[in-house]
Structure 1
Amino acid sequence: MERLALPMVRGNALLKEEKVFKDPVHRYIHVRDQLIWDLVGTKEFQRLRRVRQLGTTFLTFHGAEHTRFNHSLGVYEIMRRMIEVFNDHPHWNEDDRLLCLATALLHDIGHGPFSHSFEKVFETDHESWTRAIITGKTEVNAVLRRMGDEFPREVADVIEKTHPNKLVVSMISSQIDADRMDYLQRDAFYTGVSYGHFDMERILRVMRPTEDQVVIKSTGMHAVEDYIMSRYQMYWQVYFHPVTRSAEVILNKILRRAKALYEEGYAFEQAPHHFIPFFEGEVTISDYLKLDESIVFYYFQMWEEEKDGILADLCSRFLHRRLLQYVEFDQNFIMNEWAGLQERFKAIGIDPNYYLVVDFSSDLPYDFYRPGEEEERMPIHLLMNDQKLRELSRESDVVEAISGKKRTDHKLYYPSDILKTPGQEEEKRKIMEILSG
């Protein structure tokens, strides 16, 4: 797509000719609004081409090379189609159309490289950065302000879930929204699995707007059941795959090691210029936007030659897919074996802070409303024939069976290749006995 100059006009206009993006999931993504076309052309949105949608998952599923750019366009397209369905319904206000479309397109613009692993190390939050990019001195902000000086703040408020229009918020952020419906299908397509497929066409046809949220006609219940089970399977078969998590562990430790070395005054062969604002905790929007996955890979290649053995080894492991092995464990293991295992690692010259890692994953596939609890979730409601609303799990035996049930998985990652090298065989044998349980 050619980079467009950003004309300084107020408001929105329709393009002279509809623009389309070919898309493997939705076939075509349609753009008629000048506002949307110009947002796609901003440098902040184009940066999403350099941030993968699934972080380290490409090391497990080799096709998972798609980006936040792909996904954001897909969410926009689903939102556009939702609005088409809503047009004839009394609770829909056409004045909210561009707010919904802009929010759908920009909802992930604040993601950093490798997203969640990056956030854990540097204590950043992609939604906070999304709002900062939308409301700050950026090309995105300049385009949005053509709709009015308050329009960027409105978009940011929808993303923050504080906008007074709850219907609009639910269309982009709920238990059945444009975001989830795109990433499940898109991630399934690019990973090559069948779990994430569901009948989106049917769900879109039975979606209805109400004053507070999107609801589903009761005749579409089985399509929603399929959607929820698809989400459940995708989390455990793709998103929480143990090999992907091994790569995330190594990525996390690379960044932590680089940060620790910087704080110690270590003289890097390749100075971490792009990382310094993050190491020092003083990051501007400009600093944040300069760091993408191509830059991170550059540093990892340079750091593979560093004199610090831990940083060099971790970078080599990540770049060449020499990942950590894992075992499953329970709470008793942590209570009884953890301290001793750490000491044994130290005794054979392996730093347990970087090579012995506990990792937890948990998911709640569907939940009903629990007022006052952390991360309150608005449930999915069915619109019954008598026009009353019923919470989904009260009608669906399938959904009732998994409602409110959080599944948690515990794994311990370690470098099996080091434990197999010659030397200190007796100590290593004892370590392996402990790990094998």
Structure 2
Amino acid sequence: MTNKFKIINDPVYGFIKIPHEILFDVIEHPYFQRLRRISQTGLLNLIYPGATHTRFHHALGAMHLMFTALETLKLKGTVISREEEKSAMLAILLHDIGHGPFSHALENMLMHDWHHEKLSLLLMRRLNDEFEGELSMAIEMFQGKYHRKFFNQLISSQLDVDRLDYLKRDSFYTGVTEGNVNTQRIISMMNVSDEELVIDAKGIYSIENFLTARMFMYWQVYYHKTSALAEHLLVKILARAKELVLAGTALPASENLRYFLHRNHSGSASPEDIHRFTQLDDTDIIQAMKAWAEHEDFLLSYFCQCVIRRQFPKTVISSKPFDAAFIQQKKEKTNEIFGIENGEKLVDEIALSLLPYSAHRQPIYLLLKDGRKITLENSENQILSSSISQPNTKYILAFPRETDAII
């Protein structure tokens, strides 16, 4: 008999336990093992060399934090059955199983109108059939249909174990200390009131620190101008490749990637779509970009060389949209320098928006000593919550360096 109660050595948390056999079985499944080959942060390692961790790492870390959170809630008097514990851990373990190559970067490019959460749910249902219904409660929790709301809030909300792990993990691997949140302190402040997740009022500053850390990580890491450009280029590469293939151009690619390059319809995913998708990972895209970098199509070759050789276009950043005349000037200069007529495809304005905390979308509640609940931004002790409830947008303009970088 295989010992399924394993202990995993994680660089962020130390030893992680697998307390239920079904968790081990799911981790061993090919659907989950594929996450070893899916980058957690896309092409971020081109900016922060240490950011080479995967969705596999993140899913295990989130599972560990879920276990820790449930243990904390039990100590505070919340009754949680062994079946509920197992299901909540399964739900968070599988919450990202539907991610495609390079995580968010190519979402909807391969499976049109299929967000990773939609694919995750579909794959969870397949696993549920395979494991004879053991994931039924986990799927209810994942969808927010389970009668105890706090389980879904731990999986997906403005303060969930998913965000707690990716902030701490991404901070660890990038070396950006601003994102290093105190997960133990935050989890120790979690509580349940009327079957909803709340935070003990004395933990307000830990929560504000978490929200500001997330904001800093977005602007300093995830929305770093070069990182945003790299992901934008990935989308342009796949879009151009599909355009060429559908026009009859033969492009070298793995069998599974070739399948999606030729696929040009929306609607329900067929069994063949799902089978092909679960065979795809980052290596298919990297292999293709290496080959396409030498292709005769100028645009495809240019985009691929930018990524593979890390020869990115020039970028400038602004708090407001760029002047249309300036953008047009860059497009005309691009046509002139490269001797092409579609230079506008090499000049891009990218808009990045962030709302650090929404007071309206499933707000964070504080539990006062007298049992009353108040929203975070309405606490008289809050310092930052009201000031980070406004959206912020930045604009990046990317254009070939040869067109003169000086504005």
TM-score (norm 2): 0.90
Deviation at 1:327, TM superposition (A): 1.4
Q: Secondary structure at the match of 1:232?
A: helix
- Cα deviation, 1:22-76, whole Å, max 9, x if unaligned, reads 0111111101210111111000000000001000101000000000000000000
- 1:390 and 2:374 are equivalent in the alignment: yes
Residue of structure 2 in register with 1:289 after alignment: 278
Summarize the alignment of residues 73-112 of structure 1 with structure 2, pairs less than 5 Å apart: 73-94=60-81, 95-112=83-100
Q: Relative to structure 1, is the Cα distance of residues 233 and 403 closer, same or farther in structure 2, using a 3 angstrom cutoff?
A: closer
- Cα deviation, 1:190-218, whole Å, max 9, x if unaligned, reads 00110111222121212112334211111
Residue of structure 1 in register with 2:299 after alignment: 310
Summarize the alignment of residues 31-430 of structure 1 with structure 2, pairs less than 5 Å apart: 31-94=18-81, 95-122=83-110, 123=112, 124-136=114-126, 140-142=127-129, 144-147=131-134, 151-152=135-136, 154-268=137-251, 270-271=252-253, 273-279=255-261, 280-281=263-264, 284-329=273-318, 333-339=322-328, 341-348=330-337, 349-350=339-340, 351-369=342-360, 377-395=361-379, 396-416=381-401, 418-419=402-403
The residue type paired with residue 322 of structure 2 is: F
Runs of 4+ in 1 over 6 A off after TM superposition: none
Deviates more, 1:64-73 or 1:282-291: 282-291
The residue type paired with residue 175 of structure 2 is: G
- Determine the C-alpha separation between the residues in 2 that align with 1:105 and 1:18: 16
- Cα deviation, 1:101-153, whole Å, max 9, x if unaligned, reads 100100000000112221153443111110111113xxx33454352xxx34x
TM-score (norm 1): 0.84
Q: Relative to structure 1, is the Cα distance of residues 271 and 31 closer, same or farther in structure 2, using a 3 angstrom cutoff?
A: closer
- Determine the C-alpha separation between the residues in 2 that align with 1:309 and 1:338: 21
Q: Relative to structure 1, is the Cα distance of residues 276 and 54 closer, same or farther in structure 2, using a 3 angstrom cutoff?
A: same
Residue of structure 2 in register with 1:428 after alignment: none
Residue of structure 2 in register with 1:427 after alignment: none
Equivalent pair of 2:43/2:102 in contact (CA under 8 Å): yes
Deviation at 1:226, TM superposition (A): 1.4
- Determine the C-alpha separation between the residues in 2 that align with 1:68 and 1:272: 22
Deviation at 1:314, TM superposition (A): 1.9
Q: Any stretches of 5+ residues in structure 2 without a counterpart?
A: none
Equivalent pair of 2:292/2:304 in contact (CA under 8 Å): yes
- Determine the C-alpha separation between the residues in 2 that align with 1:330 and 1:101: 41
- Determine the C-alpha separation between the residues in 2 that align with 1:71 and 1:197: 15
- Determine the C-alpha separation between the residues in 2 that align with 1:31 and 1:332: 49
RMSD: 2.2
How many corresponding residue pairs? 394
Deviation at 1:162, TM superposition (A): 4.2
Equivalent pair of 2:50/2:175 in contact (CA under 8 Å): yes
Equivalent pair of 2:225/2:317 in contact (CA under 8 Å): no
Identity of aligned residues (%): 30
- Determine the C-alpha separation between the residues in 2 that align with 1:188 and 1:144: 35
Q: Relative to structure 1, is the Cα distance of residues 157 and 400 closer, same or farther in structure 2, using a 3 angstrom cutoff?
A: same
Deviation at 1:436, TM superposition (A): 3.9
